[in-house]
Amino acid sequence: MNYENLLIAIENQIAIVTINRPEKLNALNKKTITDLHKAFKLLNKNNEVRVIILTGSGEKAFVAGADIAEFSNYTIEEGTDLAATGQEKVFDFIENLKKPVIAAVNGFALGGGLELAMACHFRIASENAKMGLPETSLGLIPGYGGTQRLPQLVGKGRAMEMILTASMISAEEAVSYGLVNRVVPPVELLPVCMDIALKILKNGPYAISKAIKAVNANAKEGKNGFDVEIKAFGKCFGTHDFTEGTTAFLEKRKADFIGK
């Protein structure tokens, strides 16, 4: 499938999704949100894909924010729908995807861009990355999950400071906060993400999907993460991957997982 604002490459069970609006610093508009939803929905169903890397085109930005010109005249109802639709179609969708999604943050990740990176399962940043939630400088608040995910990642105090001051932080600050896992030179960003993806590919895909579900449950209101973990742990015992993984370990050979 062709996408207006995305580039997708698949190789060795790894998909690289590139948001491709470099003239707009990859800003999120409605069309890009729709493209992302369609792409991730298909990749989630594609048995040839087991890990996804999400990045932005060019050297300046991952995603520099939402396309402000598109919603500057919205009403209360339209603004509410914008946030609800975006969260459902992309941000929550990616967070709960059964396949790992790594954000390769190349440059600016601001507003909706940082929210998109936070929806991914973890983040690797280039040294030139700058991150922030500047919505309050526009008379708004983050609407794509930023007020919820940022405190989970960096703590309430730091999240409050970032949101209320609308300030950007450097890649080094981001790694010290726990917002990103590591910082690498720009030329090493995708190779490092690919190396991590290859390590993930060595493990059981069914177990990977259940681990994502269990970790996410910890942050959801009304969910007992321990119960989710216990049930997911038990289900793993009924899979081919568990039998294959333990047998391979005992036989001192590489496991051949199939995801079931």
Any catalytic annotation for residue 48?
Answer: no
Three-class secondary structure of residue 256 per DSSP? coil
* Catalytic residue, candidates 127, 135, 188, 244: 135
User: Which residues have a Cβ under 8 Å from the Cβ of 187 and sit 6 or more positions away?
Assistant: none
> How far apart are alpha carbons 243 and 258 in whole angstroms?
11
- Choose, from 23, 115, 188, 221, the residue flagged as catalytic: 115
Token pair 């001192």 is found at 252
SS3 labels along 18-75: EECCHHHCCCECHHHHHHHHHHHHHHHHCCCCCEEEEEECCCCEEECCECHHHHCCCC
Residue 115 known to be catalytic: yes
Strand ranges (E), the chain? 6-11, 14-19, 51-56, 61-63, 101-105, 108-110, 122-126, 130-132, 168-170, 182-184
CB contact at 8 A, 87 and 35 = no
Counting every residue written for the chain, the total comes to 260
Positions marked active-site: 115, 135
